[in-house]
Chain A
Amino acid sequence: NAGVTQTPKFQVLKTGQSMTLQCAQDMNHEYMSWYRQDPGMGLRLIHYSVGAGITDQGEVPNGYNVSRSTTEDFPLRLLSAAPSQTSVYFCASSYSTAGHIYEQYFGPGTRLTVT
């Protein structure tokens, strides 16, 4: 198993540009999520999905869109990049049931700089 993969590893954007961060998992996990990590602030949830076709907002959703057309893929779209979106982005997935949450597996991250 490759686990959770993310592309690209690094990206530099100009203010106003758009792009998609890719995330894929091969563990057949229903639950997938996107976090951003900023210095001294831990990880904060952007969007999450409990299954194909179902997405919802997290703690810091503004400026980002997601979709979940398959179980494996959960791309994150930046609509119009701003310097405040400079961060490291992590995708995570986990098995889940209605009653329990299980270990979340994180990808290696995408380091994004917006100039």
Chain B
Amino acid sequence: GENVEQHPSTLSVQEGDSAVIKCTYSDSASNYFPWYKQELGKGPQLIIDIRSNVGEKKDQRIAVTLNKTAKHFSLHITETQPEDSAVYFCAATRDTGRRALTFGSGTRLQVQP
């Protein structure tokens, strides 16, 4: 089955700096890669996703890049703000079969004001 590894486990940045979180996956058939943000006491919420036919996707201060050959994808947050502080999870899945997400272990991002 799929295995997703996520790094780093914790990340502390100053407000206004950029943050980068990286994930690798094992199943070359995976073709959907979402990123979730989880705030304390809440369920995960999708912030951005990318499919395997696209190399990069942006949404305001958030971007995701995908390298299919190397089987890794990354989340980039620019101009970080204190409200970006949360736990971020990457995930991977394929469109066939279970279509169930395999999650990374999470990154706790702390943005220092």
From B1, B36, B43, B44, contact of A59 by CB (8 A): B1
Within 8 A of A (CB), among B86-113: 89, 93, 95, 98-106
Pairwise interchain contact B98-A56, C-beta atoms closer than 8 A: yes
Question: What's the minimum C-beta distance from B47 to chain A, rounded to whole angstroms?
Answer: 10
| Per-position 1/0 for A35-57, Cβ under 8 A of B | 10000111111001010000010
- Given A43-B101, A59-B1, A109-B42, CB of A101 within 8 Å of CB of B106: no
Q: Report, as a range, how many residues of chain B touch the other chain.
A: 20 to 34
A108 to chain B, nearest CB (A): 5
Distance between Cα atoms of A104 and B32 in the complex (Å): 12
Q: Which residue of A lies closest to B6 (CB)?
A: A42
- Does B67 have its Cβ within 8 Å of any Cβ on chain A? no
B98 touches A104 (CB 8 A): no
B45 within 8 A of A: yes
Interface of A, helix, strand, loop or mixed by DSSP: strand
Q: Which of these, A33, A90, A109, contacts B100 with CB under 8 Å?
A: A33
How many contacts A-B (CB < 8 Å)? 62
Task: Take A48-B98, A99-B95, A101-B95 as given contacts and tell me if A43 and B44 are in contact as well, using a CB distance cutoff of 8 Å.
Answer: yes
Decide yes or no whether B46 CB sits under 8 A from chain A: yes
With a CB–CB cut-off of 8 A, which chain B residues contact A103?
34, 46, 49
Contact across chains for B46 and A104 when beta carbons are under 8 A apart: yes
Closest 10 pairs (CB-CB, A-B): A106-B43, A42-B103, A43-B103, A101-B99, A45-B100, A42-B105, A103-B46, A106-B44, A108-B43, A101-B32
Which positions in B face A, CB cutoff 8 Å? 1, 4, 6, 9, 32, 34, 36, 41-46, 49, 89, 93, 95, 98-106
